[in-house]
Structure 1
């Protein structure tokens, strides 16, 4: 009899606990947990989900924009960076595997979206670091640098950094960074290089000008403001005065 009494007591306690848990669940506020990928403790973490193996297309969302990332906290940005880094490693592994098996990598634009997201995230973090350092020290906190001229006479932005050895004794630094000194061959190269840049720029301007004339002939009622915004370097009025304007295209 005593054992039956104890068993009934345990049953009553369990029922009370079950009723209490159900009441707390009804009164609880629904929240969304932080979404993460499935936990894997082996090398399969570098591969995509098995349901995507052999697929011709893998649906994915767009990249993170700067406006969205600016609303995130530093902790969320830190977590998101490692999520993107893990996704990039997985995509690179899958791309290499597809190349080894002579197969097409499905949806290669995923790599571009991840790269854009990581670049935007770095930009947002750099903005916050600059704002913090300017508030505390009055400086940006960025690595100092200067505009230098390389060995081939091309100018670039050189970022300074600290070295344990003086510049005169650092042979590796001298081999890696060779700044410009006057050389007749380099000057001849720069003349031809600048000529090539000028001709490329001129050809691009001619292509854009002819393309705008073609658009005006095909769509005479198009929005001129949108056309100017897309081709700011093209003179629309000059294009209308061209002999190519008003060709054999029938107005739509």
Structure 2
């Protein structure tokens, strides 16, 4: 059979199927009982091309692309599981598209317009995953009395740093696996590890002190520029800063004697 005859037969088959579908739509009783013919008809043409990995053509070359805000948890909690499942794949396709456009902009040595779009999509996906986990935990606690989350254990590494590892099944038990014992050996105190931990804690402490000093100076600058600002909102924004101490500081009072 040549290709022409095959295409003609396929064309006749499609025409006959279209007539049968229209007749079933006009006269539903004519369709056989239990037939899913009417439900299989779709009026929307699915898009499965590679152009879904690229942004709309009108945004090509633009310096700024307008976008909305990210989805918050309060809005996602109002949606059903089916809607969350659909929204997840919509966000996933949007993230893939943005990553493709970002890589293309790097290859062309151009600026990626509105890079905050990627942050909004990732934040929405994190909130959606958190809402799904909340529902999963609530379901397992109601049905089984447990969270359903994979259990974990706090381990101490060779440098003395603790990390939380989720448990999983192994083909060979850990106590019988020589390679696992060598790479995951529990922490044994030694002089080098103690010196490292001492310097590491000192680094964390100094980093925290510098951040507190920067926040304090920033609050003092805000008080100098906006003396009538809302103090309650300022405390909520910078909970680690003593507002009264910032008001009484020399930087805030200036170089004059208070009355």
**Ranges of 4+ aligned residues in structure 1 off by more than 6 Å:** none
Task: Tell me which residue corresponds to 1:67.
Answer: 74
Matched with 1:92 is 99
**204-213 or 38-47, larger mean C-alpha shift:** 38-47
The aligned runs of 1:100-179 (5 Å cut-off) are 100-170=107-177, 173-174=180-181, 177-179=184-186
* Correspondences of 1:25-104 after superposition (within 5 Å): 39-104=46-111
Over the residues paired in the alignment, what is the CA RMSD in angstroms?
2.2
CA, structure 1 residues 108+142, in 2 after alignment: closer, same or farther (shift >3 Å)?
A: same
Matched residues in 2 for 1:38 and 1:96: separation? 29
**What does the per-residue CA deviation read over 1:74-101, in whole Å, with 9 as the maximum and x for residues that have no partner?**
1111111111111111111111111111
Q: Which residue of 2 aligns with 1:233?
A: 240
1:203 aligns with 2:210: yes
Q: Distance in 2 between matches of 1:86 and 1:197?
A: 39
Count of paired positions = 214
- 1:192 is aligned to 199
Task: Please report how far the alpha carbon of residue 217 of structure 1 lies from its aligned counterpart in structure 2 after TM superposition.
Answer: 2.5
Partner of residue 215 from structure 1, selected from 197, 222, 225 = 222
**Which runs of 5 or more structure 1 residues have no equivalent in the other structure?**
1-19, 21-36
Distance 1:225 1:42 in 2: 53
SS of equivalent to 1:151: coil
1:243 aligns with 2:250: yes
State the 1:174 CA deviation: 4.5
Deviation at 1:242, TM superposition (A): 2.2
Task: Using the TM superposition, give the Cα deviation of residue 172 of structure 1 relative to its aligned residue in structure 2, in angstroms.
Answer: 5.9
Q: Where in structure 2 are there 5+ consecutive unaligned residues?
A: 1-25, 27-43
Shift in Å at residue 62 of structure 1? 1.2
Relative to structure 1, the CA distance from residue 54 to residue 218 in structure 2 (aligned partners, 3 Å threshold; closer, same or farther) is closer
Quote the offset at 1:176 in angstroms.
5.8
Q: Within 1, Cα distance between the matches of 2:58 and 2:233?
A: 44
